[in-house]
Structure 1
Amino acid sequence: MSDCLFCKIAAGEIPSNKVYEDDDFFAFHDIHPKAPTHVLVIPKFHLATLADATKEDSALLGQLMDRVRHIADEVLKLDAGYRVIINVREGGGQVVFHIHVHILGGKRLPF
């Protein structure tokens, strides 16, 4: 999607503090971190929100979760643990309408 902020970041049109990239996914540091480590993981394929996902997106969503695990464990080395968040729609706190997963860690997180 040409006007999507995260599509532009994944395409390299807007700079970011990249953590990970492969053919299908891109991860970068959040510009407004809520924890010492706060990384966003996005698919390069545009999907606005989890609520828009269909059965055809099941493989993509599974791969997204696999990349989140890989990035948290192998790239960020969050051995003490981490939190994974997906905000859905405005009422759920979603600000950018390109599905993304927040990885938060680096300290003990409150409930």
Structure 2
Amino acid sequence: MAGEPQADCLFCKVVTGEVPATLVRETETTVAFRDINPQAPTHVLIVPRVHYPDAASLAAAEPQIAADLLVAAGEVAAQEKVDGTGFRIVFNTGTGAGQTVFHAHAHLLGGRGLNWPPG
């Protein structure tokens, strides 16, 4: 059922502490932790505590929690001291966009130049 933890979901296991991660921030609705394969000096994943397969389904079902993710991303950017130099928030949705864990999550990237388009 949407919103419920999934036994086979890596990020659900991070949220519950079953899988260790380097946590950088927790709120009532979100957990932020360092990406194990960073693509920038600052690369933090922000996930909702509830399970939805992607950002679009999370936003449609629980818009306040989707907003909480963005608030948490801004707080993490300030904590990581990339808020003044610039940062990027990325939501990959679907395998064609590079999503590999099907639990909604935002990538917060910063600490280096982030020219557009990415790649």
TM-score of the pair, normalised by structure 2: 0.86
Structure 1 unmatched ranges of 5 or more = none
- How has the CA–CA distance of structure 1 residues 15 and 71 changed in structure 2, closer, same or farther, with 3 Å as cutoff? same
More divergent stretch after superposition (93-102 vs 21-30): 21-30
2:30 is matched with which residue: 25, 36, 39?
25
1:64 is matched with which residue: 49, 62, 69?
69
Equivalent residues in 2 for 1:89-100, closer than 5 Å = 89-100=94-105
Structure 2 unmatched ranges of 5 or more = 1-5
1:54 deviates by 5.6
Check the 8 A contact 2:59/2:65 in 1, yes or no: no
- How has the CA–CA distance of structure 1 residues 54 and 41 changed in structure 2, closer, same or farther, with 3 Å as cutoff? closer
Distance 1:55 1:4 in 2: 20
Partner of 2:3: none
Equivalent residue letter for 1:82:
F
**Number of paired residues?**
110
Structure 1 runs (4+) deviating above 3 angstroms are 53-56
Partner of 2:81: 77
Classify the secondary structure of the residue corresponding to 1:39.
strand
TM-score of the pair, normalised by structure 1: 0.92
Partner of 1:7: 12
More divergent stretch after superposition (57-66 vs 95-104): 57-66
Equivalent residue letter for 1:106:
G
Check the 8 A contact 2:55/2:93 in 1, yes or no: yes
- Indicate the percent of aligned positions where both proteins have the same amino acid: 39
